[in-house]
């Protein structure tokens, strides 16, 4: 696998994840109590034996760069690297990345190094586990120029994906970006018998969607990016390559979630808290790597926790109830607090005794104060939630901008460093 280089696309603005992306890039958004979204594709690469990884970044990338440099280090003999490539002005280009393909085009010199024969293109905001060696095997067995990861999806989800039509051997012969009409959707239906012959049980999923995972022969990729002025892989590079090159489908039937919106971010987090999660975190195989923080164990003083993930370094007061939720690092939660169906991202630091003594009496400490109730909400880092605060969207409002919180798709989001004074309540 030493002749494969991995490129993880992490330069998008992440506007659909706002306000979680107000101060950070999308791949740097904290996830599942102790990780960041970027840890997923990087861990998949390392677990697949791929240790030459570049992350292409652009917007608000400081925290992402810091996380990468402090987490992924190789010894002298491993000869691997995980490095961030930020958008920059060069003699050839003075523009920002114009899209995913343009981002790779502006960094072609890094993949044209000696000994590199294949390029794996990945997204920085998807939750899944995949052994890319299986995809490489599919690529080699079919002598393909490009191999694309595809996922079976039900008919009702087709309009949100790019879908493919295959021949009997799994070669991609047609592609449609988010088909809308019944005629188009029917045209891209895959035979259930064909799926079963490939070891995949359809269960009503008879359309194959692009996962945004591409494996290219390096010379093919360089040719496509230098011959044409395509700016996007999904909309331009991949569809245009079907006519001129052998594009093969690699079937994947595991858990996969595109964490691109507030609702999908909430869903992906809460999917992991159940007794039988669709993607287990507590496994020795294909573990997820992240930065070691050397935090103390979490201390709970008579709290009740059910179906939840609790990270290191937390203090949870007596009488507190936490259900179906994710609680991140360094959370300080007072007595008799109720947290349900929520994601509490945590804190970057502990306030010292001196800081607590000298802070204004009207300013809550970092954390969640006594008797507060949080339901169906996302609380970003370093928020100061006072006592007797109620964060509940009882009116079912779908979208709303407030001074202190934002409601997105019915989910209440407290942006990083928000302050909610004692007794604050969400107005309908």
Using the predicted structure, report yes or no on whether residue 91 has a pLDDT greater than 70.
Answer: no
**What is the per-residue pLDDT across 352-403, written as a single tens digit (0 to 9) for each?**
988 888 888 789 999 999 999 999 999 999 999 999 999 999 999 999 988 7
**What is the per-residue pLDDT across 120-147, written as a single tens digit (0 to 9) for each?**
999 998 999 999 999 999 999 999 999 9
**What is the per-residue pLDDT across 236-284, written as a single tens digit (0 to 9) for each?**
888 888 988 999 999 999 999 999 899 999 999 999 998 899 998 888 8
To 5 degrees, how large is the angle CA 157–CA 162–CA 165? Answer: 100
Q: Are 111 and 222 in contact, with CB atoms under 8 Å apart?
A: yes
Per cent of the chain over pLDDT 70 is 97
Residues 6+ apart with CB under 8 A from 341: 270, 323, 324, 325, 375, 376
Q: Are 32 and 326 in contact, with CB atoms under 8 Å apart?
A: yes
Question: Which tokens hold the place of 213?
Answer: 């995972």
Q: How far is CA 224 from CA 174, 219, 221, 283, in A?
A: 18, 9, 5, 40
pTM comes to 0.93
Using the predicted structure, report yes or no on whether residue 210 has a pLDDT greater than 90.
Answer: yes
The CA distance from 88 to 322, in Å, is: 45
Residue with tokens 């188009």: 184
Residue with tokens 């858990």: 255
Q: In the structure, what pLDDT confidence band is assigned to residue 102 with cuts at 50, 70 and 90?
A: confident
The DSSP letter of residue 234 is I
Residue 378 has phi, psi (to 5 degrees) of -120, 120
The CA distance from 409 to 398, in Å, is: 5
């Amino acid at each position: 696998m030493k002749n494969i280089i991995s490129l993880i696309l992490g330069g998008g603005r992440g506007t659909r994840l706002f306000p979680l992306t107000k101060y950070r890039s999308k791949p740097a958004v904290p996830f599942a109590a102790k990780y960041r979204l970027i840890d997923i594709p990087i861990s998949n690469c390392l677990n697949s034996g791929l240790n030459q990884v570049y992350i292409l970044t652009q917007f608000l990338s400081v925290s992402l760069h810091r996380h990468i440099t402090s987490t992924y280090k190789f010894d002298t003999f491993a000869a691997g690297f995980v490095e961030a490539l930020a958008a920059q002005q060069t003699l050839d280009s003075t523009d920002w990345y114009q899209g995913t393909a343009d981002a790779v085009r502006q960094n072609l010199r890094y993949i044209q190094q000696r000994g590199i024969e294949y390029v794996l293109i990945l997204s920085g905001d998807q939750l899944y586990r995949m052994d890319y060696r299986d995809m490489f095997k599919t690529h080699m067995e079919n002598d393909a120029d490009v191999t694309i990861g595809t996922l079976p999806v039900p008919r009702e989800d087709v309009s949100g994906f790019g879908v493919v039509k295959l021949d009997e051997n799994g070669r991609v012969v047609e592609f449609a970006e988010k088909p809308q009409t019944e005629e188009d959707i029917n045209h891209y239906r895959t035979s259930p018998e064909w799926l079963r012959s490939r070891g995949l049980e359809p269960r009503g999923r008879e359309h194959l969607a692009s996962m945004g995972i591409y494996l290219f022969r390096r010379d093919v990729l360089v040719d496509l990016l230098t011959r044409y002025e395509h700016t996007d892989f999904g909309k331009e590079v991949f569809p245009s390559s079907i006519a001129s090159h052998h594009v093969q489908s690699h079937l994947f039937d595991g858990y996969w979630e595109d964490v691109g919106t507030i609702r999908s971010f909430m869903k992906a987090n809460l999917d992991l808290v159940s007794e039988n999660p669709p993607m287990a975190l507590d496994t020795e195989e294909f573990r997820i790597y992240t930065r070691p923080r050397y935090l103390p164990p979490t201390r709970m003083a008579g709290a009740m926790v059910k179906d939840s993930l609790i990270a290191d370094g937390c203090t949870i007061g007596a009488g507190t109830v936490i259900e179906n939720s994710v609680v991140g690092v360094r959370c300080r939660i007072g007595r008799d607090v109720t947290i349900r169906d929520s994601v509490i991202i945590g804190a970057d630091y502990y306030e010292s005794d001196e800081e607590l003594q000298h802070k204004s009496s009207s300013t809550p400490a970092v954390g969640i104060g006594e008797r507060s109730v949080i339901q169906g909400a996302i609380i970003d880092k370093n928020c100061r939630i006072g006592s007797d605060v109620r964060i509940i969207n009882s009116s079912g409002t779908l979208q709303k901008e407030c001074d202190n919180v934002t409601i997105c798709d019915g989910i209440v989001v407290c942006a990083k460093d928000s302050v909610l004074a004692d007794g604050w309540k969400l107005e309908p």
